[in-house]
Structure 1
């Protein structure tokens, strides 16, 4: 599973839960399929993939600075940008999760 599909599944599950809590209709078939997946496992998988991308970028950077002739600057820069984009995406997912949690906690019972 790649990071994007994992995050899309998490966001779809959050949206379905939010719609249901707001008095919306029952979740659609695609959302119910997503909710069958373990939420914690999806989140852990996404974080692990972001971590792997960052470690790879860090390793390439160390090799380039260390003088490894097989590592080129453009490979290092691309790897660092991929790590940055992955991390920024994870931050946005975290922000949405926190917002959803706060909305749920502010609901009156």
Structure 2
């Protein structure tokens, strides 16, 4: 495949270097995962334009990139929703 990077596993982030971190996840690595998602979406959009203009040799490249981008976006949204639910639950416990 040309121009398509393998999908990064958004759930695999490096443990925080700071010993005092309660979450065990480095915030910078989470932001890096969001950047990878944006790169996947950008690649998918570029391949879509190439497919429409006829510059793309293999339409399967676009199909794979689009599926990866869609799946990564769904995973990111699910993780975000779970984080919001956890935050809401913590705030409910404090009241």
* TM-score, normalised with respect to structure 1: 0.65
Instruction: Find the counterpart in structure 2 of residue 88 from structure 1.
Output: 74
Relative to its length, the structure with more helix (as a share) is 1
Take 1:78 and 1:88, find their aligned partners in 2: how far apart are those partners? Answer: 15
* Offset, 1:9: 4.2
Q: How does 1:1-109 map to 2 (within 5 A)?
A: 3-4=8-9, 6-9=10-13, 35=24, 37-39=25-27, 41-68=28-55, 70-108=56-94
> What whole-Å deviation, never above 9, does each CA across 1:75-101 have from its counterpart, x for those lacking one?
111110010001000011101110111
CA RMSD in angstroms comes to 2.7
- Larger Rg over CA atoms: 1
Runs of 4+ in 1 over 2 A off after TM superposition: 6-10
Q: Could you list the runs of 5+ residues in structure 2 that have no partner in the other structure?
A: 1-6
Count of residues in correspondence between the two structures: 84
* TM-score, normalised with respect to structure 2: 0.73
